């Protein structure tokens, strides 16, 4: 399990874009394509979005989330929870200059928001091996 987990971490590091799913107000999954901004192993992934976005509202109501990513036939699907980060220091530390396109007021922009995903379970399809379990 440790070997496939390491391969999954490498896969995540090589994927800029992931799919992030929230649960909408009718109880349906709402997957969107989103760039990750930081990772910590396979356990934690940070994203940036707007405070007024539909996904942010969904996560405030229901923190359950899914993240999926793939490359060259290998894929990982994670389920866990999202925290909407309020801490100004953490938001500043995660700021990337290309965010100005979306948040013209910079790190102080009230629309600037960080989502912190914490994985609990994983489904790995790596090297033609299928493994499911806790992260």
Taking only the tens place, the pLDDT of each residue in 56-87 is 999 999 999 999 999 999 999 999 999 999 89
- What architecture is domain 2-134? Roll (2.30)
State the pLDDT confidence band at 99, using cuts at 50, 70 and 90. Answer: very high
| Residue spans per domain, the chain | 2-134
Taking only the tens place, the pLDDT of each residue in 19-40 is 999 999 999 999 999 999 999 9
Task: Give exposure, 26-47, as e/b (b: 16+ Cβ within 10 Å).
Answer: eeeeeeeebebbebeebbebbb
Q: Is 41 left (phi over 0), alpha (psi -120 to 50) or beta?
A: left
Q: What is the mean pLDDT of the chain?
A: 96
Looking at the predicted structure, is the pLDDT value of residue 1 above 90? no
pTM: 0.95
The pLDDT of residue 124? 98
């Amino acid at each position: 399990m440790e070997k496939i987990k390491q391969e999954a971490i490498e896969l995540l590091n090589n994927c800029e874009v992931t799919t992030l799913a929230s649960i909408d107000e009718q109880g349906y999954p709402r997957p969107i394509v989103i760039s990750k901004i930081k990772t910590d192993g396979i356990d934690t992934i940070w994203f940036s979005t707007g405070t007024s976005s539909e996904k942010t509202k969904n996560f405030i109501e229901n923190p359950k989330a899914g993240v999926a990513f793939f490359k060259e036939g290998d894929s990982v699907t994670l389920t866990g929870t999202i925290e909407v980060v309020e801490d100004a220091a953490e938001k500043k530390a995660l700021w990337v200059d290309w965010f100005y396109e979306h948040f013209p007021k910079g790190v102080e922009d009230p629309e600037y928001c960080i989502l912190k995903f914490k994985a609990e379970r994983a489904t790995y399809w790596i090297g033609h091996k299928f493994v499911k379990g806790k992260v």
